[in-house]
Amino acid sequence: MSSPGSLDPVADCPFCHIVAGTRAARFVWETDAVVAFRDIAPAAPTHVLIIPRSHVPDALSLGASHAALLAELFVVARRVAEAEGVASSGFRLVLNVGTDGGNTVNHLHLHLLGGRPMSWPPG
């Protein structure tokens, strides 16, 4: 529970609300520990966000105890790529960290982008 004047990172987290079903999202895959849903502002024909159900703030919060969760995130990424028909054409997985990395939502998420050629390096 958050006290007056303080911010509860989970209560204030849009992706925790999506996991809880209190914020709408277009789900494409779900497992016990991971959900995948379409980005609200797609940057490619396929743009899916893959997130842990638990509130992990970002990649800087990860440790050895997250090994199984990280494996599940990448297995779901492969499943989503196959289901979206981009596994053979190719796709990009992006994990933004911090301000310069372009991170805006502080709940760990992989972007899966596909359906068009990607430039490198990214802008």
37 belongs to the binding site for ligand 5GP (CB under 6 A): yes
Minimum CB separation of residue 17 from ligand 5GP in Å reads 8
Instruction: Tell which residue, 72, 81, 79, 82, has the closest CA to residue 113.
Output: 81
Q: Which stretch binds ligand 5GP (CB under 6 A): 59-67, 76-84, 102-110, 112-120?
A: 102-110
55 included as an active-site residue: no
55 belongs to the binding site for Zn ion (CB under 5 A): yes
Task: Identify the residue among 47, 107, 109, 111 touching Zn ion (CB under 5 A).
Answer: 107
The 8 Å CB, 24+ separation contacts for 53-59 are: 53/19, 55/9, 55/10, 55/13, 55/15, 55/16, 55/107, 56/107, 56/108, 57/9, 57/106, 57/107, 57/108, 58/97, 58/98, 58/103, 58/106, 58/108, 59/95, 59/97, 59/108
Give the footprint of ligand 5GP on residues 42-71 (CB under 6 A): 49
Give the footprint of Zn ion on residues 8-37 (CB under 5 A): 13, 15-16
40 belongs to the binding site for ligand 5GP (CB under 6 A): yes
Residues contributing to the site for ligand 5GP (CB under 6 A): 14, 23, 25, 37-41, 49, 96, 102-105
